[in-house]
Amino acid sequence: MIKSTNAAYAILSVILFCNVGCTINKPVIAVIGTGYVGLVTGTCLAHLGNNVICADIDQEKINALNNGVVLMYEPGLKELLDESVLKNQLQFTHDSANAAQQADIIFIAVDTPMQSDGTANMAYLESALQTIAPTLTKHKVLCIKSTVPIGTTDYVQQLLMSWGVEKHAFSLVMNPEFLREGSAVQDFLHPDRIVIGSRSYQAAQQIKSLYEPLLTSNTPCTIVDPATAETIKYASNSFLAVKISFINEIANLCEQTGADICAVSHAMGLDKRIGPYFLKHGAGFGGSCFPKDCNALLHNAKKWGVSLPTLSACLLTNEEQRKKPVKKLLDFMPNLHNKSVTVLGLAFKAGTNDVRNSCAITTIDLLLQQGAHIKAYDPVANTNMKQLFPRIDYCNCLEDAIDQTDAIIIMTDWPEFKQLENISKKSSAHDLIIIDACNIIDCSKLETKKIIVGKMGKKYEAMDNRRMCN
Ligand code: UDX
């Protein structure tokens, strides 16, 4: 009896030690950059039990985070952030150097925005590296999360050593993210795959161990060299963009032939080799990533003497597609001068307040060129669009936005815009034109003959004295 009790105690103490020991030995993680990638990465790594310090040069952003205010619109992020801060597993600081000094693993998640020539701006990355370099006195893993041109990780290796950082003081990893704005927390915690690029087996394993709780038989981890990881990121995003431009081209064909683009897209997606995602036609793609990444890959390839004509065509198609909503409106209303036109949806997609490269920017630009008077409404993106177009009228609700207007262009598929199907009950509807650029309106539900609906990818037909989509 005594022997078995001792054995039980021995086993229990080993288990306890492992747990306590592992918790104590958890690496300290610094995340440099608290944009949607950095903040979601830091918060989710803390949620997975790590000790995380998120740092940013933007004092205002850090002050807000230290007051529990999340400036970006990311469903689920605030809850996870509050929970991790409460457990003292997540901190925010303006002092990136101090964060890096304390860390065993440093994620760099700073922006690499597109420059006017289409190449990636590396200034923020280099600035972050300059801040981190002096802290590399004992070995740390430096993990690049930012989307960077092919060859950057190896370049960073040379750069740090040229600054006098000892080779043994760091190991580089490239760990691209595949987070969509508006679903970034979901995408982080339920990834399709983890990609890790490194020349150091140990460093790769250290980063892989952070994702261990997320790895299942359906979520593989691919460990490759850094350039391969960099290419996977650009190639994945660019392919998604190509897929969108392709379905938009087919939609433009259906507009002439009368074929049903929705049925075409659906049936194409039933082919497992094609898949149903990113086959939704509309006014083109926007956002902070697709335009940037496609242009960066194009210029990256050019530097290596390789042309990517498919990608060039994808961007050209997208540029034309973004003009179509206003072109469609002009079909019905050739003279927009002094006409009141309402733009519904300003964010580059529903579920976010981000207006970067939003297709609504092209729409507003073109309407202003036509001399239209613009009313604009978005459930969450008004404030951000006001930075770009301060002089148009911003409405605080759908009702006001559609009241006393000559035409409506729906640019973002926010669910609340489906209310337009009942618009006749809501306003003294004179002949009202709706250009539904994101195909959210079910025309069969429209009751009044006084509404004309133009849709992307739909052929117009004269029907009982009104022209509307079929
Ligand atoms: C994208 C990638 O999806 C993500 O993996 C990467 O990490 C960052 O870039 P994001 O830009 O946030 O994410 O949004 P996404 O949902 O991909 O949409 C991008 C654009 O494509 C939006 O303008 C959206 O409206 C458009 N889109 C998307 C379509 O026009 N059709 C579709 O079927 C899907």
- Could you tell me the CATH number of the domain that includes residue 84? 3.40.50.720
User: Comparing 90-94, 221-225, 437-441, which segment has the lowest mean pLDDT?
Assistant: 437-441
394 lines ligand 1 (CB under 6 A): no
Q: Are strands 170-174 and 194-198 parallel, antiparallel or unpaired?
A: antiparallel
Judge if 38 and 163 occupy the same domain: yes
d(CA 133, CA 128): 9
Position with higher pLDDT, 352 vs 272: 272
Judge if 189 and 210 occupy the same domain: yes
Which of 54, 143, 289, 395 is the catalytic position? 289
From the CB of residue 26, how many other CB atoms can be counted at a distance below 10 Å? 15
Which helix (H) or strand (E) segment holds residue 194: the answer is: strand 194-198
User: Comparing 3-7, 44-48, 127-131, 220-224, which segment has the lowest mean pLDDT?
Assistant: 3-7
Q: List, for residues 122-134, the tens digit of each pLDDT value.
A: 999 999 999 999 9
Helix (H, G, I), strand (E, B) or coil at 450: coil
For residue 174, how many C-alpha atoms fall within 13 Å in the half-sphere facing its CB? 26
Judge if 328 and 312 occupy the same domain: no
CA of 338 from ligand 1 middle (Å) equals 34
Q: List, for residues 154-184, the tens digit of each pLDDT value.
A: 999 999 999 999 999 999 999 999 999 999 9
194 lines ligand 1 (CB under 6 A): no
414 lines ligand 1 (CB under 6 A): no
The reply to whether 337 falls in a domain is: yes
Judge if 350 and 243 occupy the same domain: no
Q: 221: which 2 tokens? A: 């981890």
Give the end of a domain, one of 321, 355, 372.
Answer: 321
- Model confidence band, residue 423 (pLDDT cutoffs 50, 70, 90): confident
The whole domain housing 37 covers 11-224
Q: List, for residues 363-416, the tens digit of each pLDDT value.
A: 999 999 999 999 999 999 999 999 999 999 999 999 999 999 999 999 999 999
The mean pLDDT of 299-316, rounded to a whole number, is 96
The reply to whether 3 falls in a domain is: no
Judge if 214 and 334 occupy the same domain: no
Shortest-distance atom of ligand 1 to CA 287: 11
CA of 180 from ligand 1 middle (Å) equals 7
Measured by CA distance, the residue closest to atom 9 of ligand 1 is: 289
pTM listed for this prediction: 0.91
User: Comparing 12-16, 199-203, 264-268, 354-358, which segment has the lowest mean pLDDT?
Assistant: 12-16
Judge if 187 and 247 occupy the same domain: no
The reply to whether 2 falls in a domain is: no
The reply to whether 5 falls in a domain is: no
CA of 193 from ligand 1 middle (Å) equals 18
Ramachandran region of residue 33, left (φ > 0), alpha (ψ -120 to 50) or beta? Answer: left
d(CA 237, CA 180): 11
The pLDDT value given to residue 446: 81
Shortest-distance atom of ligand 1 to CA 413: 25
The reply to whether 4 falls in a domain is: no
Give the end of a domain, one of 321, 341, 357.
Answer: 321
Judge if 17 and 152 occupy the same domain: yes
From 175, 349, 357, 410, mutation site for ligand 1 pocket: most ligand atoms within 8 A of C-beta: 349
Which amino acid type is present at position 401?
Answer: A
Judge if 61 and 144 occupy the same domain: yes
Judge if 271 and 397 occupy the same domain: no
Q: Which residues pair with 174 in a beta bridge?
A: 144, 197
Q: How many domains, the chain?
A: 3
CA of 450 from ligand 1 middle (Å) equals 35
Q: List, for residues 96-112, the tens digit of each pLDDT value.
A: 999 999 999 999 999 99
The mean pLDDT of 204-224, rounded to a whole number, is 95
Judge if 47 and 73 occupy the same domain: yes
Looking at every residue in the chain, the average pLDDT score rounds to 91
The pLDDT value given to residue 20: 40
Concatenate the DSSP letters of all residues of 287-310 into one string: SSSHHHHHHHHHHHHHHTT---HH
Catalytic residue list contains 44: no
Which amino acid type is present at position 271?
Answer: D
CATH for 307: 1.10.1040.10
Q: List, for residues 125-158, the tens digit of each pLDDT value.
A: 999 999 999 999 999 999 999 999 999 999 999 9
The pLDDT value given to residue 8: 58
The reply to whether 229 falls in a domain is: no
Judge if 164 and 37 occupy the same domain: yes
35 lines ligand 1 (CB under 6 A): no
Give the end of a domain, one of 175, 190, 224.
Answer: 224
Judge if 357 and 412 occupy the same domain: yes
Helical segments of 163-289, H only? 184-189, 201-211, 226-257, 261-269
